[in-house]
Copies of this chain bind each other. A is one copy, B any other.
Amino acid sequence: MNNFEYYNPVKIIFGKDQIQQLSKLIPSTSKVMIIYGGGSIKENGVYEQVKKSLNDHFMIEFGGIEPNPRYETSMKAVELARENQIDFLLAVGGGSVIDATKFIAAAIPFQRGEPWTILSEKKSVKSAISFGTVLTLPATGSEMNSGSVITKEDSKEKFAFSSPFTFPQFSILDPSVASTLPKRQVANGIVDAFSHVVEQYMTYKVNAPLQDRLAESILKTLIEEGPKAYKDPADYDAMANLMWCATMALNGLIRTGVPVDWATHGIGHELTALHEIDHARTLAIVLPGVWRVLKDEKKDKLVQYAERIWGINEGSDSEKIDQAINSTESFFESLGIKTKMKDYNVGSDTIDAIIERFENRGWTALGDRQLADLPTIRNILNLQLQ
């Protein structure tokens, strides 16, 4: 096991009818700004529940955070918050809204140049205003970590940051608010959570059997409960299990003491930036390609994955791995998520564009042992073209 640090102070409030706890969770003297997305929270009753719980608080609103949240939009929220001397943010939405809120929280007090440099130059965040979240979509895990991914509209660049100051103070996870989600979003959430787990698992063995099993626990539960929640988002128990899996997938616990990868995310982000393909769908395209091309390097873990997750115990190691990758692709496809670039009308010119973007940034390789160098990334994407 590798040395590690683990710290996660987010308070999770999980279950039915928990949004009403907001009135106790946010100090009554706070000046609150609610941040949300396209307005679905006004259709599913969440907006009303939040307003009702906070009716004794000073409160303004900022709506319109996009999927793949934009720097430009976030900066409008920063301005509004500064003008109103806001001291508490409440994100009400999915990962995009929460990611934007983390950035806004850090940007409000930021005084060392343009806040964009937090992302582009990795300038360290030294403070942030307090915030909480009301999660409406199980997917990204952003509700229980300190990371955020923001896209700049004008340059189509997508960067991540994290800091000890951008953990939510609390996150309210009520699975019943996800009961009216479109199936497409439920499917995306399942694949997103699944990908988060394997990015922290499909590397190489370091004698960390507990961490392996914790990751496998989430994968098995996603495979078992995900399709139930996809079939019927109003199935409370299935949605609750999916929601807790998605949170546990990226709260830092399963990566303790083990190597991580994140090459799939690094490549997938470019597909979103260039073509606006849903984040989870880019992962479903790239992930099987990464495993196919790096099959030898990731062999030990791929075999373990085949055996423990898919129960594949027959055949050579190579056959087990091939079957497991096919099973994974079939799992994604069973949720209506296509795994080839041509399904999204993306051709080989995009591969050239992605390689060029990496070259322009001076990136030579990504992820686990830096195995995904530029020729390897080209092979991965070529394999997943059609």
Contacts and interface: CB of A to CB of B under 8 A. Distances in A.
Contacts of A208: 241
A12 B18 contact: no
B3 A241 contact: no
Nearest to A248: B210
Nearest to A206: B237
A124 B216 CA distance: 40
A14 B8 contact: no
Contacts of A336: none
A197 to B, nearest CB: 11
A315 interface: no
Given A210-B248, A217-B213, A14 B3 contact: yes
Interface string A222-249: 0011000000000001001100110010
Q: How large is the interface on A (under 10, 10 to 19, 20 to 34, 35 or more residues)?
A: 35 or more
Number of copies: 2
A258 to B, nearest CB: 11
Contact of A213 (B8, B15, B220): B220
A218 B210 contact: yes
A172 to B, nearest CB: 10
Contacts of A2: 15
A175 to B, nearest CB: 8
Interface in A4-37: 4-16, 18
Given A207-B241, A214-B214, A256 B5 contact: no
Contact of A9 (B9, B207, B213, B221): B9
A245 B210 contact: yes
A1 interface: yes
Contact of A210 (B1, B11, B217): B217
Contact of A3 (B3, B4, B15, B213): B15
A15 to B, nearest CB: 3
A5 B1 contact: no
A244 B18 CA distance: 32
B1 A6 contact: no
A4 B210 CA distance: 24
22 contacts: A1-B14, A1-B15, A1-B240, A1-B244, A2-B15, A3-B15, A4-B14, A5-B12, A6-B12, A7-B11, A8-B8, A14-B257, A209-B221, A209-B225, A210-B217, A210-B218, A210-B241, A210-B244, A211-B244, A213-B216, A213-B217, A213-B220
